[in-house]
């Protein structure tokens, strides 16, 4: 983040960490990874051709790139994107994404896409939510750095498509959406309710239907699984 702000890290720069001790997740959670076993990556993006209203399109672009990589090895049928920013295999979490944006006035200066994907780790903290790794799925070990390079290529391809307006990322995101068309349990404030996932809007709102058609912004509801 500091190097991007100083102008010394341009678009497409990738930072791979072998170890981290302050991994951030969404909703104030932490991201914990065993040293050297997984992809812990920060990607510098400079969305100069985009406008701030396309923030979720950029997020979807990053999620699709992570899906491209993980499904290549774990299979496309079971690999899904869980709204808004997780990679799931079946009902278990394989990766997470956190994007931090920087604006200068009304100009989108840069974004840092923080990505964590479980590759070789087989033991997780007891408090971790239903984690799974590529090694647990396939029984094989992988070169995490090589897979990070492959992820960089996936990001580059997806970003080029986003800039060119090819095959809108929101539509593709929705075809890979976790629990699409299925009934789920969500919590809003102190109320838990059941509803059917119908998609995600261009602005990144989760769309559901039960007795009413509903839409929820990020942070408004929590999944109950």
Statement to judge: residues 123 and 95 lie in one domain: yes
Task: Give the residue from 45, 178, 212 showing the smallest Cα distance to 115.
Answer: 45
End-to-end CA distance of the chain: 34
Statement to judge: residues 6 and 109 lie in one domain: yes
- CB-based contact 39:119 (threshold 8 Å): yes
- CB-based contact 71:175 (threshold 8 Å): no
Q: Which domain holds residue 21?
A: 2-175
Please give the structure tokens belonging to residue 223: 């999944």
Statement to judge: residues 71 and 131 lie in one domain: yes
- Total of domains in the chain: 2
Statement to judge: residues 131 and 158 lie in one domain: yes
CATH at 28: 3.30.930.10
pLDDT at 160 over 80: yes
* Helix or strand (DSSP H, E) at 192: strand 191-200
Please give the structure tokens belonging to residue 181: 């068309």
Statement to judge: residues 38 and 113 lie in one domain: yes
CA distance 19 to 32: 10
Statement to judge: residues 109 and 220 lie in one domain: no
- CB-based contact 170:57 (threshold 8 Å): yes
What are 73-110's pLDDT values in tens digits?
999 999 999 999 999 999 999 999 999 999 888 889 99
pLDDT at site 25: 66
Residue 11, helix vs strand vs coil = coil
Statement to judge: residues 101 and 145 lie in one domain: yes
What are 43-72's pLDDT values in tens digits?
999 998 888 889 999 999 999 999 999 999
- This prediction's pTM: 0.94
Statement to judge: residues 194 and 215 lie in one domain: yes
What are 169-214's pLDDT values in tens digits?
999 999 999 999 999 999 999 999 999 999 999 999 999 999 999 9
Statement to judge: residues 35 and 54 lie in one domain: yes
Dihedral (CA of 163, 168, 172, 174) sign: positive
Statement to judge: residues 154 and 48 lie in one domain: yes
HEC profile for 108-135?
A: EEEEEEEEEECCCCCCCCCCCCCECCHH
Statement to judge: residues 166 and 190 lie in one domain: no
pLDDT at 114 over 70: yes
What are 13-28's pLDDT values in tens digits?
999 999 987 766 666 6
pLDDT at site 206: 98
Cα 203 to chain centroid, rounded = 16
Statement to judge: residues 193 and 82 lie in one domain: no
- Number of alpha carbons in the 13 Å side-chain half-sphere of residue 189: 1
Residue 167, helix vs strand vs coil = coil
Q: How far is CA 207 from CA 12, 67, 191, 215, 217, in A?
A: 32, 21, 18, 5, 9
Q: Binning pLDDT at 50, 70 and 90, where does residue 128 land?
A: confident
């Amino acid at each position: 983040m500091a190097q991007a702000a100083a102008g010394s890290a341009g678009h497409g720069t990738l930072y791979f960490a072998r170890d981290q001790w302050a991994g951030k997740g969404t909703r104030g959670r932490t991201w914990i990874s065993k040293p050297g076993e997984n992809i812990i990556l920060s990607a510098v993006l400079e969305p100069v051709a985009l406008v701030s209203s396309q923030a979720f399109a950029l997020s979807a672009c990053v999620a699709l790139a992570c899906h491209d990589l993980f499904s290549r090895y774990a299979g496309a049928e079971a690999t899904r994107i869980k709204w808004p920013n997780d990679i799931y295999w079946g009902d278990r979490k394989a990766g997470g994404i956190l994007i931090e944006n920087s604006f200068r006035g009304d100009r989108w200066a840069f974004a840092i896409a923080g990505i964590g994907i479980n590759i070789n780790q087989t033991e997780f903290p007891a408090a971790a939510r239903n984690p799974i790794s590529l090694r647990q799925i396939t029984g094989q070990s992988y070169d995490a750095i090589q897979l990070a390079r492959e992820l960089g290529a996936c990001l580059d391809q997806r970003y080029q498509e986003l800039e060119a307006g090819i095959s809108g990322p929101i539509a593709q995101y929705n075809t890979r959406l976790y629990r699409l068309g299925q009934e789920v349990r969500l919590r809003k404030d102190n109320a838990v309710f059941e509803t059917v996932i119908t998609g995600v809007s261009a602005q990144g709102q989760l769309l559901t239907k039960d007795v009413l058609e509903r839409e929820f912004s990020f942070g408004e509801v929590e999944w109950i699984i």
